[in-house]
Chains A and B, each alone.
Chain A
Amino acid sequence: MQKPVTVRKKSFWIRVRRYWQIYLMMLPGLVLVLLFAYLPMAGLTMCFNDFNPILGIRGFWESEWVGFKWFEKFIDSFYFGRIMRNTLLINLAKLVCGFWVPIVFALLLNEERNVFFKKTVQTVSYMPYFISWVVTIALMDAIFSPTMGLVNNLRVAKGLSSIYFMGEQQYFYPMIIGSSIWKGFGWSSIIYLAAISGINTDMYEAAVIDGCGRLKQAWYITLPTIRPLIVMMLLLNIGGLLNSDFQQMFCYIGTNSSLYSIGDVIDTYVYRVGLTEFQLSFGAAVGLFRGVIALVLLAGSNWLVKRAGEDGLF
């Protein structure tokens, strides 16, 4: 009983030395995090200066300071309203149309008693998660293209005219939201399914005795039980309201300039001004603007949820 006490009394540095092998093992990973996560964060200083790329990494600190010039430029610019609106609308639409889909899918899967059928549907539904956006958009093109697409083939066979679904503004939202759901609903359902399968079956048995049908069981037992998980996923989604999916938008819009006005979002804008027009500081500032608002959104909704008596994320 004496020994643990003396161990605890040892100074911090002696304890650190005892673990040198572990620190050494962690070193490669930590170096990667510092280089590719924290060094860019330190580089956010470039949002407040006129970054001089010739100075290289020293330019983060040694360029001429300009204060909030880039933020003001962004807020005053013609693009500000447009890309903020697009980003928020697209993400809100995705949230409203897509958030519940994996939950319902998980509930339905949970009701299916034929194990083979259930497993097959599950396996198939996870598949799109593992293909890139490049391929996903290409698959959409195969289905919706006016020249070879399945949908237009059927339309033409019925005597209707072809529609360029992926090129016209009026189909933009359904296409973007649909492809997001298609790609993610199966995969997102796993976590709900795991939570549902952990529910104590006694509750269902009691409910059956009380005369509850399966809809009522789902509504009064399953959903309330997994509510903390639903709230957590919702929080994460709200935190990501400004994280438009760059890969999706970039692949979908491609060079189709007729979609810019409704499909241009913060991330594609940052890419365009920062890396194709080389307004480096300006691009970085727009990126930081997004990052900070996302953080505020997450913290804000977390606070609200906690006030409502639920478990927050942190």
Chain B
Amino acid sequence: MVIQKSGKRVFFNWVIRIILLAAGLVTLLPFLYVVALSLLSEQEFTSRGLVIPSRPTLDNYVMFLKWGTKIKDAYGATFFITIAGTAIALFATALLAYGIARQDLPGRKLINNLLVFTMFFGGGMIPTYMVIKSLGLLNTYWAIILPGALSVWNTMLMRTFFKQLPVELEESAVLDGASDFCIAFKIMFPLSKAAFATIGLFYAVGYWNEWYSALLYLNDAKMYPLQMALRDIITTNAAALDATKMASGIMQNRMPPSAVVKMTAIIFSVGPILLVYPFVQKYFVQGVMVGSLKG
């Protein structure tokens, strides 16, 4: 009886483990495949069916970088948007979150409700576009940075972080005659480094991946950030190419020459995120955990 039960348990464990392994592999597979393709030489790629490169080469990477100023400009734009955006967003978010975390602040409820309401209703694409146009932000990077600089969700996360700090800290600082500025910048913020790291990372990833605002608010293709530039290379072209290849029936034996370069383009756009991701993912998870405690 006992033996039978433990046998069943072992079996059950393996079923679970296999499902989890499958989930992990399905998630990882596209990335691995793209990396493998990007390391293929053009010739090897044309002999189809090969997934693991026999002689890995970095040719595609070199070729991709030689593509001229477009990619360099796109990287520059994305770095500017990510760095400036994250700094501004973190500043505005932390200060606002600190305010609504103060239980004693008059009007705290009202401000809180104003923020929460925007999570369920908004002006929508067109009125927002008109506002940004009227503010003279069209065709500037501020049109990408500023509208994204105050995520209400992140503000609520940050507020929860601040609320977890002991109130006594504040109270004793008030008794010592510290000003509110002093309490925020010298006591509360230095104690919330983990919160700043978490929220800062959320913003940084958001700005890095941003292309929607660029699509709407930038007319000049020369200004495109990375994701938009890559969208031109990898999605639109791929679909159009495939369609024509399919139609003309030549795709069976001849590949579009830029296919492996496209794979390299994908790697260039996700590479920086995936490189830092394993080291910072615990902060992301922490952020969600804190958020779920609130509810």
List chain A positions with a Cβ less than 8 A from chain B. Answer: 12, 15-16, 19, 21-23, 25-26, 28-30, 32-33, 35-44, 46, 51, 53, 56-57, 59-60, 105, 108-109, 111-114, 117-118, 120-121, 123-128, 130-132, 134-135, 137-143, 145-148, 150, 153, 156-157, 162, 164, 166-167, 182, 185-187, 190-191, 194-195, 213-214, 229, 232, 239, 246-247, 250-251, 254-256, 267, 270-271, 274-275, 280, 283-284, 287-288, 290-291, 294-295, 298
Contact = CB atoms under 8 A, between A and B. Distances in A.
Contacts of A16: 106-107
Contact of B269 (A125, A135, A156, A291): A135
Contact of A121 (B12, B21, B37, B120): B21
A246 B212 contact: yes
Interface string B109-141: 001001100101111111111111111000000
A141 B235 contact: yes
B124 A141 contact: no
B171 interface: no
A120 B216 CA distance: 38
Contact of A164 (B122, B123, B242, B293): B242
Contacts of B252: 156, 162
A140 B30 CA distance: 7
- What 8 pairs between A and B have smallest CB-CB spacing? A40-B123, A29-B96, A287-B124, A43-B127, A132-B209, A21-B180, A57-B134, A26-B99
A127 B184 CA distance: 34
Interface string B259-293: 10011011001100110011001001100110111
B33 A131 contact: no
A25 B289 contact: no
Of listed A32, A166, A195, residue having the most chain B CB within 10 A: A32
A36 B274 CA distance: 31
A153 B49 contact: yes
Contacts of B34: 139, 142
B86 interface: no
Contact of B16 (A108, A135, A166): A108
11 contacts: A28-B95, A38-B114, A44-B127, A57-B134, A108-B20, A121-B21, A123-B281, A141-B239, A187-B288, A229-B295, A287-B124
B65 interface: no
A232 B294 CA distance: 13
Measured as residues with beta carbon below 8 angstroms from the partner, the interface class of chain B is 35 or more
Interface string B10-39: 001100110111011011111101100100
B33 A143 contact: yes
Query: Which of A37, A166, A271: most chain B CB closer than 10 A?
Result: A37
B49 A157 contact: yes
A60 B131 CA distance: 10
Nearest to A15: B106
A199 to B, nearest CB: 14
A290 B9 CA distance: 50
Contacts of A288: 124
Contact of A295 (B17, B49, B121, B266): B121
Nearest to B130: A43
A142 B115 CA distance: 41
B121 A40 contact: no
Given A40-B127, A139-B30, A33 B270 contact: no
A298 B121 CA distance: 11
Given A25-B98, A29-B93, A135-B270, A298 B131 contact: no
Contacts of B71: none
A28 B92 contact: yes
A31 to B, nearest CB: 8
A57 B236 contact: no
Given A33-B115, A130-B205, A141-B234, A46 B96 contact: no
Interface stretch (B54-62, B145-153, B160-168, B192-200): B145-153
* Most central of B24, B51, B152, B263 by chain A CB within 10 Å: B24
B132 to A, nearest CB: 8
B240 interface: yes
Contact of B102 (A22, A33, A186, A229): A22
Interface string B232-259: 0011101111110110000110011001
Contacts of A22: 98-99, 102, 105, 180, 184
B235 A283 contact: no
A142 B37 contact: yes
A296 to B, nearest CB: 11
A145 to B, nearest CB: 6
Contact of B211 (A21, A42, A132, A295): A132
Given A44-B123, A121-B23, A35 B131 contact: yes
Given A32-B150, A254-B240, 8 more contacts: A22-B180, A28-B92, A36-B128, A36-B131, A37-B122, A41-B127, A134-B269, A164-B242
